[in-house]
Structure 1
Amino acid sequence: MFFRHLLAASCGAVACTLCGGAIAHQSSEVVKQDFNQSIPNLPGKSLVAVEVDYPPGSASLPHKHAKSAFIYAYVLSGSIESKVNDGEARVYHAGESWSESPGAIHRISRNASKTQPAKLLAIFVVDTDDKELTTPVK
């Protein structure tokens, strides 16, 4: 059960790259890689977990993730507004989550509050060779 929650939490949506935890575009969130491990029973796949801190009123630019990436996002604190592909924009509160399928476009990802910080845990199941997890969408 714990692994299922960890796997779910690890597939989250947001802006980061594998290279040193750097973000792939200019925006106001802070991304920190927490975990990067190959999955022994899934050759060629890795599990990558990142924390995304959103200061009050901050946002990520629209972005997409590596083509192989299945993502689970879990709100650790605060509230985050998210819109994936052509779905509806929704505000997720601490303890709530969503997922993103490979090839999805994350059109909105921002702190829903102008006064309180928010934090997201994003967990990726991704091809081990995919080094850039996030690229901006123009």
Structure 2
Amino acid sequence: MLTRLLQAFALTALSITAASAADRPEGKITIVFDHALPNVPGKSMKGVLVEYGPGGASPGHTHPDSSFIYATVLEGSIRSSVNGSPERVYEAGDNFYEEPGARHGVSANASDTKPARLLAVFIVDTDEKELTTPIGE
């Protein structure tokens, strides 16, 4: 009896966690800079502003295999996990990078009450149009 009760409780907790993650509002993505690198033929630098409202998040995703990304948190705090690493919270002024082919499993506002923004700078093939692909596609 106790085992069934614990199993039911665990299943309920998992269902609530999955539902709340799916209900989080997605971030707003804006390309703020796009310029071909004159000294590196075929490559461009693209600046992408990511804005999360309170509790906002992006679905797990990858970026083009040609991209190297350097990101700086401009406001608030960002929860992140790349390639299955433990989640880490980055505060305003902190930065991180993503190697080509990385899987960004978690990218979210760490706060449910304050907004967060980050600037991601991509070095990527100039002809690359899609900068983000949801995991599973």
Same fold judged by TM-score > 0.5? yes
Alignment RMSD (CA, Å): 0.8
How far residue 41 of structure 1 moved from its aligned partner, in angstroms, is: 0.4
Q: TM-score, normalised by structure 1?
A: 0.80
What's the secondary structure of 2:26's corresponding residue? coil
For 1:56 and 1:123, locate their aligned partners in 2 and report how far apart those are by CA, in whole Å: 23
For 2:121 and 2:86, locate their aligned partners in 1 and report how far apart those are by CA, in whole Å: 22
Decide which of 70, 81, 84 is 1:83's aligned counterpart.
81
| Larger Rg, first or second structure (1 or 2) | 2
Q: TM-score, normalised by structure 2?
A: 0.80
Q: Going by fraction, where is helix more abundant, 1 or 2?
A: 2
How far residue 87 of structure 1 moved from its aligned partner, in angstroms, is: 1.3
Q: 2:90 is matched with which residue?
A: 92
How far residue 28 of structure 1 moved from its aligned partner, in angstroms, is: 1.3
2:100 corresponds to 1:110:
no
Q: Give the aligned residue type for 2:100.
A: P
Residues 1-138 of structure 1 correspond to what in structure 2 (within 5 A)?
28-138=26-136
How far residue 129 of structure 1 moved from its aligned partner, in angstroms, is: 1.3
Q: Give the aligned residue type for 1:74.
A: T
Q: Give the aligned residue type for 1:42.
A: V
Q: Give the aligned residue type for 2:44.
A: S
Q: How many residues align?
A: 112
**Per-residue displacement from partner, 1:35-80 (whole Å, max 9, x unpaired)?**
0000000000000001110000010000000110000110000000
For 2:55 and 2:101, locate their aligned partners in 1 and report how far apart those are by CA, in whole Å: 27
For 1:95 and 1:77, locate their aligned partners in 2 and report how far apart those are by CA, in whole Å: 8
